[in-house]
Amino acid sequence: MHKDDQAKITLFCINCNKEVPHTVDYIGNYLRAVECKDCGKRIEIDRRHLRTVFAEDFINRILTKPHRMTEDMKKAVVTLMPFFPKRLLREPLTVLKEIYEVLKKEKNS
């Protein structure tokens, strides 16, 4: 596509409730607008608005990610809890120290 191209295409129009010819306007490689040739309904694409909406959604997802991961981990721990050794639940610090000592010995070997 070149700058400010138009294409004719058959699409389903929700106003006409059928497939009808449409004109699709491009600015460079980007979709600018779609217009129904039967009813004249035109849908404009505002890239700045789309960027704002998607940026807000992306930022929200980044900010809520730690919370979502914590919730997922809680569910996983609850599901796996019956399979944990009882000692791990009663003496977690002691077990972690023992694991650390074993790993430390393997590293030094």
Q: How many CA atoms lie within 13 A of 36 on its CB side?
A: 15
Per-residue tokens: 38: 């039967």
- Is the pLDDT reported for residue 71 higher than 90? no
Rounded to a whole number, what is the distance in angstroms from the first to the last CA of the chain?
Answer: 64
**C-alpha separations of 74 from 12, 19, 41, 67, 78 in Å:** 46, 50, 50, 11, 6
Residue 46 pLDDT more than 60? Answer: yes
Average pLDDT over residues 57-84: 81
> Predicted confidence band at 3 (pLDDT cuts at 50, 70, 90)?
low
Position with higher pLDDT, 38 vs 82: 38
Domain boundaries in the chain? 6-45, 50-108
Instruction: Take residue 82 and report the two structure tokens written for it.
Output: 């019956």
Please give the DSSP secondary-structure letter assigned to residue 84: S
pLDDT tens for each residue of 9-33: 999 999 999 999 999 998 887 888 9
Higher pLDDT, 4 or 15: 15
Residue 1 has pLDDT above 70, yes or no: no
Determine the average pLDDT of the residues in 25-53: 87
